[in-house]
A and B are shown apart, each in its own frame.
Chain A
Amino acid sequence: MSNTVFGLTMLVVGMGGTLATLFLITLAIHALAALFPVRPEETEDRK
């Protein structure tokens, strides 16, 4: 494999892999939010 092919492979698969993995984590965070819902902040001036 030439250095150019190696570099392009790393660019496409590396950047794509990073993006895809972070997208997967985003989905996991959404699932966490659904499982453990965000609770509204309690306001101090609530009467």
Chain B
Amino acid sequence: MSGAILEALAALLAGVRFLFEHGGPNVIMIAVAGVMLWLAIGKGVEPLLLLPIAFGCLLVNLPLSEVMAQGGVLKTLYDFGIGNELFPLLIFVGIGSMTDFSPLLANPKLLLFGAAGQLGIFITLLLALALGFSREEAVSVAAIGACDGPTVIFVSNMFAGLGKIPTAMVGALAVAAYSYMALVPIIQPPIMRLLTTRKEREVKMPSPKGKVSKAALISFPVIVTAITGIIAPQGLPLMGMIMLGNFMKVSGVVPRLANAAENEIANIATLFLGLAIGGTMAGPQFLTRETLMVFGLGLIAIILDTVGGIFLGKIWYLLSGGKVNPLVGAAGISAYPMAARLVQSEGQRWNKHNFLLMHAMGANTGGQIGSVMAAAIMLSLLKGLGVI
């Protein structure tokens, strides 16, 4: 009898024993989860994503946790919505529904900032290859430069599904992508000031006049979807879903669907995606040299995106005879509408009568399209080169 009681007590204390014997990485990851929870709750850093990711990370790192074992709750969520790339795409429907493309349609040239803002993706790809990452890993790391969490998860998970990158890397990539998106207000302003002169930052740009017609707003998502499908079909799910969300919104005939995409669907997908991604952050697999390199390269990617946008802005400033404010180029990334608001506040910091918001919003939505297009083109190139 006493033997059975001792055996039962030992079973209850197995978790404590595990922590002392093999739990070092788990303890570190529980601390990481704590930091993420503090950032989300205490500092308001991307709480919608960081909070469920942190909790998933906590769940998977508690000793002897089986949440990511076959049949475990997080493994089930992962297989249901990440393994088949469903959740990132559902979030994209919501993002499309929240996006207003009218500033871009009023000034279509701003879309080119969205291309320049993807420079970081391709340079980072080269750097990652030089550091010894495999081609699939390098493309996944480079995708952080898209400044767009769902795109990073979509691309990296495609490779994880093919067994080309470790599943734990998807978690590292997602956390890096969302963390740097949240840190855009800290990363971008010093680069803006470093690369532009005071005279350039003070340039006033008149607000675009007139409204975009409803017919143009409705046609736009259909045209972009068709062009993506023809040129880069591998990325059609990404672009198709973002444009579907926008199409439902601008059509005006399905407000319930548009509202559902923007609220219920996006919220549920965000919660499940965050938890499942957190579940990939098990200490022994997550704490590697590669994870640190992913974070370093991700930061470089976002810095280079900003540099690319501002340099195009400077070229445009010269070609236009000083009529374009190069700061607008910094908005050519996917962090919407954060990057646009940053450009507005930075512009007003140097000239109180400067209102760059509408131009920056145009460049920012261009950055959204540009980041998805860059990912789509990368995937199609990989298919063409026989890598996937």
Tell me whether A and B are bound partners.
yes
Residues of chain A touching chain B, judged by Cβ–Cβ distance below 8 Å, are 1, 3-4, 6-11, 13-15, 17-19, 21-26, 28-30, 32-33, 35-41
List 12 extra interface pairs beyond A22-B112, A22-B370, A32-B223, CB under 8 A.
A3-B135, A15-B115, A15-B118, A18-B115, A18-B377, A21-B227, A22-B114, A22-B366, A29-B111, A33-B216, A38-B212, A40-B210
Is the CB–CB distance between B223 and A25 below 8 Å?
Answer: yes
Residues of chain B touching chain A, judged by Cβ–Cβ distance below 8 Å, are 104-106, 108-109, 111-112, 114-116, 118-119, 121-123, 125-126, 129-130, 135, 138-139, 209-213, 215-216, 219-220, 223-224, 227-228, 231-232, 366, 369-370, 373-374, 377-378, 381, 385, 387
Interface of B: prevailing SS: helix
Interface of A: prevailing SS: helix
Is the CB–CB distance between B210 and A41 below 8 Å?
Answer: yes
List B contacts of A41 (CB < 8 A): 209-211
**Least Cβ distance of B284 to chain A in Å?**
28
List B contacts of A6 (CB < 8 A): 129, 135, 385, 387
**Least Cβ distance of B361 to chain A in Å?**
15
List A contacts of B211 (CB < 8 A): 38-39, 41
Given that A25-B223, A28-B227, A29-B220 are contacting pairs, would A14 and B381 also be in contact in the complex, using a CB cutoff of 8 Å? yes
List A contacts of B210 (CB < 8 A): 38-41
**Least Cβ distance of A1 to chain B in Å?**
7
**Least Cβ distance of B377 to chain A in Å?**
4
Is the CB–CB distance between A7 and B118 below 8 Å?
Answer: no
Is the CB–CB distance between B216 and A3 below 8 Å?
Answer: no
Is the CB–CB distance between A19 and B223 below 8 Å?
Answer: no
Is the CB–CB distance between B227 and A24 below 8 Å?
Answer: yes
Provide 21 A-B residue pairs closer than 8 Å at the C-beta atoms, listed in order of the A residue: A6-B129, A7-B130, A10-B381, A11-B123, A11-B125, A13-B381, A14-B121, A15-B119, A17-B377, A17-B381, A18-B370, A18-B373, A21-B377, A22-B111, A22-B366, A25-B369, A32-B216, A33-B105, A38-B106, A38-B213, A41-B209
